[in-house]
Structure formats: structure tokens, C-alpha cells
Amino acid sequence: MTKKSRGILLIALGNPYYGQLAANLAASIKYTTNGNLPIHLVWAEDSLNHLTPQKMELFDEVQECPHEMYHREDGKRVYVKTKTYIYDLSKYDETIFLDVDVIMLSRNTLEMAFDNLNDLDFTMECRGKRNIASDDFVDDYLWANAHDIKREYGFKEGELYSLHSEFIYFKKCKKVAAYFETVKEVFANPRVKMKHVFDGDIPDEFAFAIAMIKHQMYPHKCPYRPLYWYLTDAAKIGTSKEKMLNNHYGYSVGGNATPSAVRKTYNQLASAYSMKLGVQYPFKIVQKRQVLHSRKSM
């Protein structure tokens, strides 16, 4: 029996900021897994301009992102669209996709994550859900009016999830392929108006959530927090490093405004992994609003 391939998929598009984050993340993956998991990086435009040859060696495969995967049909550049294509981009039988503004923790590794999720075809980070058939169904969904979603998509039952697409696990199989085809369709032609835009367009998490209801394919549990994210988890879980190490695979610095304590933790981790691997000049995290024009008004 042929052994199934496992690997990590990362995306870094546009600004060199993302390439630097991807290198920090790759270093943390290589160290915590003893180099046992290959890393496939998808890039576009200037994202790799600041990476040294030494940092480029942290990636096992580097692929330029096809133009159509980060542009709409009218030519508008939409980087977040690429997440809807991660099934197509992955070269592995089993994949963990990670946002690059994440760094691994050392106690629970991504090898352990694959082993823990091996019985599943798909799952995704999530922190809440709503039963759309419930009598007390309320419109508190972040991205769009929940009642509009029910009406325009004809949903009578199902769960509307609050998703975080910074961690996604999937296997290559027909049902997951069909799910991602719907994700792409929903993202291309949303039937409802968004309450908020994300990076100048609709959020990918909206498309993932709608496709889940259509295919009745949901995260394996809720909440599912494989990564520690200060913005939601600090208040609920606390900030103990021991709890982070015991309960999470990685540490997320997602968000436009990153508190100084979070930046300090991230920088300490990035420096430690780089030093252990002999990689020079780890990138120090900065506020996204400082370097990304599209994030200044978010």
C-alpha cells in the first residue's frame, strides 16, 4: 500500500511582508518537525523580494500563483481569493494550510496534528456556530445578514459557522474537491451583500461557511482552536504560555493591530527557531497597518 503524502501549504502574495512571515513560519515548522514535513509556498509579485537564498531553502517547493487565482474576471486584484484554490494548489494527499502570520509552538507539532486529524477528510479552525433552523436564530453573523443568507441561498437547515481560515486540514478526495468547487463559486458570485469587506473584497470565510451548509460538511468540533489567537483566546483561555503549549500547535498574530506583548512573544519564537537552524536575520513582526495600504482603513 502506497504511503499517503503529507505536507504544508503556505501562501505569500504581493508585499514582501508576507514572504518574510512565510520564512519565519517555515523555520518554525522545520525545527519542530525535524524537517519531516515538506513545505509548498505559493507566491506572487514582490512577496519574495526580501528573502535571502538561505531563507528560500526553507521551502521544499516554490510555485508562482496563477494570475486567475488572485484576480477577479474584471481584472481586480484580490489576494484572498487564492485561499479558495488551496485544494487545487496542494500537491499532497493530506494538507494543512496555514496563514503565514502564524508561528509554531514546540510541544504539539504539525506531525501530531496530522495524526490527530487522520480519520477526517476536512476540518477548519472555528470558534462558534448558529443553527439556522432554530426558532431563536439571530442575525449576529459577522460577514453578512444571516436572514438574507437563509433566503437567498434557500437554506432551511444547517449550521452557519464563525470560521478562521488560518488553519485548514483536508484530504484529496471527491467530496472535498466538490466542496472546494462550491467555495470558489460562492466567492465568485455572492448572493448577499457583505456587512464588512475584507482586504477590499468579500471574506473567504464567508464562502467557506456557505459551502459547508450546501455540502453538510463541517469542522469536526466547535470550537476548534488549533492555533492560539490573542484577539479571541486571551479573554477566554488566558495568556499562560503553559496553556498555549499544552493546547495549541501554533501562535497567530493575525489582525491589523498587534499588541506589543504579542509582538514580543512572536519575535522571541522567531529568533529562537532561526538561531537553532542557523538562519540569519529572522523577521520581526510589525503592524500590518504600517506596511499594507489595504489594511490602513480596516
Are residues 82 and 11 in contact, defined by beta-carbon separation less than 8 angstroms? yes
Does residue 258 fall inside a structural domain?
no
Number of domains comprising the chain: 1
**Domain presence at residue 279:** no
94 occurs within a structural domain: yes
Least Cα distance to 64 among 87, 88, 89, 37 occurs for 89
The list of the chain residues with pLDDT below 70 reads 1-2, 135, 137-138, 287-298
d(CA 118, CA 112) in angstroms, rounded, equals 10
- Domain span at residue 179? 6-226
Q: Are 39 and 7 within 8 A, CB to CB?
A: yes
**Does the residue 102 lie in any domain?**
yes
- The residue assigned the cell 516554490 is 62
Q: What three-state secondary structure class fits 196?
A: coil
Query: Residue 266's pLDDT is what?
Result: 95
Which amino acid appears at position 286 of this protein? V
Q: What does the pLDDT look like over 168-223, one tens digit per residue?
A: 999 999 999 999 999 999 999 999 999 888 878 999 999 999 999 999 999 999 99
Helices 174-188 & 204-215 angle (0-180, nearest 10): 130
Residue 188 inside a domain? The answer is yes
Cα 275 to the chain's mean position, in Å? 26
The string of pLDDT tens digits covering residues 238-253 is 777 888 899 999 999 9
Cα separation, 1 vs 15, in Å, equals: 43
Assign 131 to helix, strand or coil. Answer: strand
Indicate whether 159 belongs to any domain: yes
DSSP H/E element including 63 = strand 61-64
Domain of residue 47, CATH code: 3.90.550
